[in-house]
Structure 1
């Protein structure tokens, strides 16, 4: 049994000027979301063998906030391919995981993460089945095969879907 955890970065800062989208950090609300997620995960029994993280500042800060108090989480494995990836790119990335990896966390962006989660659960479709996949969402999926290469659309079952409470305006 394999576990896949999809974590969308916390709310990013839009009011400050940045030279590139990769440099956008977390907003005040994003820091509050990350803290709420950290509290939820600290109490949980979720463990990741590997954590693949987009190089964007907001994803790095979100994951760093979790590791700040949850020492069982591994160091981030930065993957440029996650930034701006679609569901097919992300599936390809998961297919390349070592067979020894039992659980992986993917920290990235929408719409790629939302589309990947929807397709893994419900099958390939041009439309996501999620009503909402907000910032700082945490989606856990179970996959019964032993090889990551067998991961395909509709092959997963839902384990958990956590979204932060309404913090500020949406």
Structure 2
């Protein structure tokens, strides 16, 4: 049996779980997860752990729905999991996601918790249109998780060398 060396860098891309519509007077930023969204967040955290995935650090948008998606990760993967909340992930471009994901850090794995359409655009840039469509034919789903491995840590100038190691989406019984 051969063992595979861990990648030089692993990037997890997690789109927030399903959110409720904004209430009258409520901003988009303050939208919370709905009942299905809470279930999706719990399920994807459990599936992540079941697959043996464990980011060293989570970087999340400060939007309420992203914070609520990130919290089950701590319960599932361990209370010591570091979660950083960054305002600039809300209403960001793919370039901002890239800057945050590939900023110099000591960790060899990082998870971004963010929003569509930026999450899908960033994913597509990293793996290419054909792979993105094969992994998520209906688009990047709520609580969808892409796992990308890199043989060398991307430096922001060259994003090649990444490969899709896995794509998870919560399965809810209807």
Task: Tell me if the contact between 1:24 and 1:57 (Cα under 8 Å) persists in the aligned partners.
Answer: yes
- Aligned residues between the structures: 163
User: 1:120: how far off?
Assistant: 0.5
Distance 1:2 1:156 in 2: 9
User: 1:72: how far off?
Assistant: 6.4
1:120 to 113, 117, 126: 126
- CA RMSD, 1 decimal: 2.2
User: 1:49: how far off?
Assistant: 1.9
Residue 52 (structure 1) aligned with residue 63 (structure 2): no
Partner of 2:170: 164
Structure 1 residue ranges without an equivalent (≥5): none
Distance 2:80 2:157 in 1: 23
Partner of 1:152: 158
Specify the SS of the correspondent of 2:76.
Answer: coil
Does the C-alpha gap of structure 1 residues 85 and 167 become closer, same or farther in structure 2, counting only changes over 3 Å? Answer: farther
Does the C-alpha gap of structure 1 residues 57 and 167 become closer, same or farther in structure 2, counting only changes over 3 Å? Answer: farther
Partner of 1:6: 13
User: 1:154: how far off?
Assistant: 4.1
Task: Tell me if the contact between 2:54 and 2:77 (Cα under 8 Å) persists in the aligned partners.
Answer: no
Task: Tell me if the contact between 1:7 and 1:106 (Cα under 8 Å) persists in the aligned partners.
Answer: yes
Residue 63 (structure 1) aligned with residue 70 (structure 2): yes
Q: C-alpha offsets along residues 6-48 of structure 1, whole Å, 9 cap, x if unaligned? A: 0011000116335211111010110111121122123232122
Partner of 1:111: 117
Does the C-alpha gap of structure 1 residues 73 and 154 become closer, same or farther in structure 2, counting only changes over 3 Å? Answer: farther
Distance 2:23 2:149 in 1: 39
Distance 2:67 2:25 in 1: 16
Task: Tell me if the contact between 2:58 and 2:113 (Cα under 8 Å) persists in the aligned partners.
Answer: yes
